[in-house]
Amino acid sequence: MTESPVRVRFAPSPTGYLHVGGLRTALYNYLFAKKSSGRFVLRIEDTDRGRYVEGAVQNLIKTLKWAGLDFDEGPGAGGESGPYIQSERTELYRQHAEILLEKKAAYRCFCTPDRLEQMRREQEKQKLTPKYDRTCLRLSEDEIRENLNSGKPFVVRMKVPDDVNVSFNDIIRGDVEFHSRQIDDQVLIKSDGYPTYHLANVVDDHHMRISHVIRGEEWLSSTPKHVLLYRAFGWEMPQFAHLPLLLNPDRSKLSKRQGDVAVEDYQQKGYLKEALINFIALLGWNPGDEREIFSLAELEKEFSLERVNKAGAVFNVEKLNWLNFQHLRSKPDGEVLAMLKEHLAKSGMDPAKFGDDYLLRVITAMRERVSFIKDYTEKSPYFFRAPNEYDPAIIKKRWKPQSAEYLSKLGEQFAKLASPQKQEYEDSLHRTAESLKVGNGELIHPLRLAVSGMGEGPGLFDILVILGKEETIRRIGSAIDRIKPAAA
């Protein structure tokens, strides 16, 4: 008997942005498919029309493509199991609901929303788990026919078997068991004719030949309902794997109340897709050793569901920032240059004004100091415009009454240099300090303030080489005119 091919699916609801937890689910499905030479399917579960958000499907697809998670089948990609949007498959669900009704594995429920709400309130008063009380299961055939003939609205409910254990094996959690008394007679078809998640999910997974259902832990309690549906239809079940919850640092469930949860938020903040994918891969999975930095291609080779943990994974932004730094510093100069030029243009600066050679020198100087592309303009704005203000704390600490005089002499010496490189600037500063009979620091610190407006950054002489002699001398003159020693 040959093993069936691996087919997995990511099945989001188009209710707005893509949650980082959703991206992790998509990533693990993608990685499992790649490792197994299988197929990664995108299916849009849009049967909850009340929560549907216009444009959300396009946004989901765009975000997955940005992250590098290309699906093999799905909207726009085609495939033999389409359509891949559930609202286009409603007739299929209705047909399968009829099959369940014929098998007495489901029944019509005519209870009004008011009656159901009253029932729930009574159960809560009695400290009972809210469950449908099966009033409509006891209707006679004549009563059902009369209700249907009169056009009374109804839903179709699953009939959960009495007093049975429902068990299944979860790749991550091992054997899981529920008793049927814990399971409600779930609505399968709503009164508007649309299926609920449970019916549509099972029908689609079967018809799309899904071999492994990899999804978040929040769906674990729904799985026995799905197991019962597979049994009722007489279908072979896929293998299940329920991923651990994503947690805030205080170990509460990750939510927008405590920070960003949309992938788009991290895109807009300048996180690299490589860093975000690397970070999310480690939220619940580990390679079994100390490695932490992975490319998508490396993850495709390394990933296994057996190494996914049961315990919730803490979303640590500091770790994400560190990974962003690591991935940015390892990028080729040309790639960083393209991103920096795009950032400058978005910031209202013309990249052509600086030239590629200049920008590449800035990249070399700042590479070990930036975690984001925006850091180039935020941490070293002086490479892109002369300082129009100077750090008051550095003025107070480093700018002495004689600093203007010393820098004036230094500017005169720099003017004598032909095409100075790092060593020439350094030698010239040393000679000037000797002639003034002062330590090098008496010139170095005010010079850094003059050319950058700041008290820290890459090597001072590297900054001078990048700015060039004329701009350096111009900035020295401007600082002499504008900076006044802090009052003692």
Give me the active site residues, please: 256
Q: What is the 3-state secondary structure (H, E, C) of 220-277?
A: HHHHHHHHHHHHHHCCCCCEEEEECCEECCCCCECCHHHCCCEHHHHHHCCCCHHHHH
Taking the CA atoms of 123, 124, 127 and 131 in sequence, report the sign of the dihedral they define.
positive
Beta strands in 130-190 (DSSP E): 155-158, 165-170, 174-179, 187-189
Rounded alpha-carbon distances, angstroms, from residue 443 to 299, 318, 397, 420, 432: 51, 37, 13, 18, 9
Please give the distance of CA 236 from its chain centroid, rounded to a whole number.
33
Contacts of 92 (CB under 8 A, 6+ apart): 203, 207
368 has which bridge partners? none
Widest CA span in the chain: 112
Identify whether the C-beta of residue 203 lies closer than 8 Å to the C-beta of residue 96.
yes
Contacts of 33 (CB under 8 A, 6+ apart): 6, 7, 8, 39, 40, 72
Nearest CA among 347, 340, 346 for reference residue 361: 340
Identify whether the C-beta of residue 219 lies closer than 8 Å to the C-beta of residue 240.
no
* Phi-psi category of residue 422: left, alpha or beta, with phi > 0 → left and psi -120 to 50 → alpha: alpha
Rounded alpha-carbon distances, angstroms, from residue 295 to 37, 46, 274: 18, 32, 7
* Phi-psi category of residue 291: left, alpha or beta, with phi > 0 → left and psi -120 to 50 → alpha: beta
Rounded alpha-carbon distances, angstroms, from residue 344 to 348, 377, 385, 451: 6, 8, 12, 21
Nearest CA among 50, 136, 196, 328 for reference residue 204: 196
Assigned token pair, 353: 């004004």
**What CA–CA distance (Å, rounded) separates 52 from 289?**
43
**What CA–CA distance (Å, rounded) separates 257 from 441?**
49
DSSP label at residue 353: G
According to DSSP, the β-strands at 212-216 and 239-243 are: parallel
